[in-house]
């Protein structure tokens, strides 16, 4: 049976008003046990945006350590999410390194789940006005961008993986919330690279425009309420 790849499963970042390489490493640089405990927690709804955002840039060293430690694989999904929610330009190379340099050969399902969250994290950073994050998301909407990816999935073929990643990078763009991204998504909806991108681009355009009008927190809060979280 094929893995479910519904885009909805990626929308886990919620607003609360309230061959894998990796050598042995030294202790986390910031000794931030609160960060480690936060990303180690397992819930049905992922993490809450405000809680993750509040850690700030000081947590990025710890998060990067975790993402480079094979024994901390259970934290990777939430660690990627938290890097994004912090919203710092310093998070971009951490996410790019995790996507492009961390893995070679076939990755397991747990690793794949963390990797597929990278574009959502980049989208949150893009919302903070980090143009490099926006640029990478735009590049990623082209399936050909993924041809040189050094890792492969257990289920998807190379072509299928490129198409899948290109589609979820469209979703990542939806969190940018700018007029220029709106124009990019509108163009992609008119002339998508793949058939599955058209619907994703139209939905992404709607979210981008809502965020532009009302702000990221308000839209995430609304989406959380709609899902009953």
**The predicted structure's pLDDT at residue 27:** 45
Q: Which two tokens stand for residue 219?
A: 């839209």
Return the domain boundaries, the chain. 8-17+26-226
Residues forming beta bridges with residue 151, ordered by sequence position: 105
Residue 136 burial (10 A CB sphere; 0-12, 13-18, 19+):
buried
Residues whose CB falls within 8 Å of the CB of residue 153, separated by 6 or more in sequence, listed in order:
106, 107, 112, 161
CA-CA distance, 215 to 96, in Å (whole number)?
26
Measured in whole angstroms, the distance separating CA 33 from the mean position of its chain's CA atoms is 23
How long is the chain? Answer: 229
- The class that CATH gives domain 8-17+26-226 is mainly alpha
CA-CA distance, 24 to 19, in Å (whole number)?
16
CA-CA distance, 203 to 82, in Å (whole number)?
24
166 pLDDT above the threshold of 90: yes
* Mean pLDDT, the chain, integer: 87
The answer to whether 204 and 170 have CB atoms below 8 angstroms apart is yes
**The predicted structure's pLDDT at residue 222:** 85
Residue that the structure tokens 């893009």 belong to: 126
The answer to whether 113 and 77 have CB atoms below 8 angstroms apart is yes
Q: Which of 108, 111, 105 minimizes the C-alpha distance to 152?
A: 105
24 pLDDT above the threshold of 80: no
pLDDT tens for 74-121 read: 999 999 999 999 999 999 999 999 999 999 999 999 999 999 999 999
pTM of the model: 0.88
CA-CA distance, 155 to 25, in Å (whole number)?
31
φ and ψ of 73, to 5 deg: -55, -30
Question: What's the whole-number mean pLDDT along residues 39-58?
Answer: 86
């Amino acid at each position: 049976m094929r893995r479910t790849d519904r885009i909805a499963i990626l929308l886990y970042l919620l607003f609360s008003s309230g061959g894998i390489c990796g050598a042995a490493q030294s202790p986390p640089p910031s000794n931030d046990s609160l960060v480690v405990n936060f990303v180690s927690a397992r819930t049905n709804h992922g993490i809450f945006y405000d809680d993750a955002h509040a850690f700030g840039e000081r947590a990025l060293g710890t998060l990067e350590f975790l993402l480079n430690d094979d024994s901390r694989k259970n934290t990777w999904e939430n660690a990627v999410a938290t890097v994004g929610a912090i919203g710092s330009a310093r998070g971009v190379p951490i996410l790019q390194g995790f996507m492009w340099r961390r893995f070679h050969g076939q990755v397991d399902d747990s690793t794949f789940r963390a990797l597929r969250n990278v574009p959502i994290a980049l989208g949150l950073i893009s919302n903070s006005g980090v143009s490099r994050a926006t640029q990478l998301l735009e590049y990623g909407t082209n399936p050909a961008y993924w041809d040189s990816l050094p890792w492969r999935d257990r289920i998807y073929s190379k072509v299928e993986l490129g198409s899948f990643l290109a589609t979820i990078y469209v979703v990542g763009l939806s969190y940018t919330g700018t007029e220029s991204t709106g124009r990019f998504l509108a163009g992609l909806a008119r002339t998508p690279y793949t058939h599955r991108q058209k619907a994703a681009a139209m939905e992404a355009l709607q979210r981008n425009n809502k965020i532009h009008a009302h702000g990221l927190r308000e839209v995430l809060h609304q989406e959380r309420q709609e899902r009953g979280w």
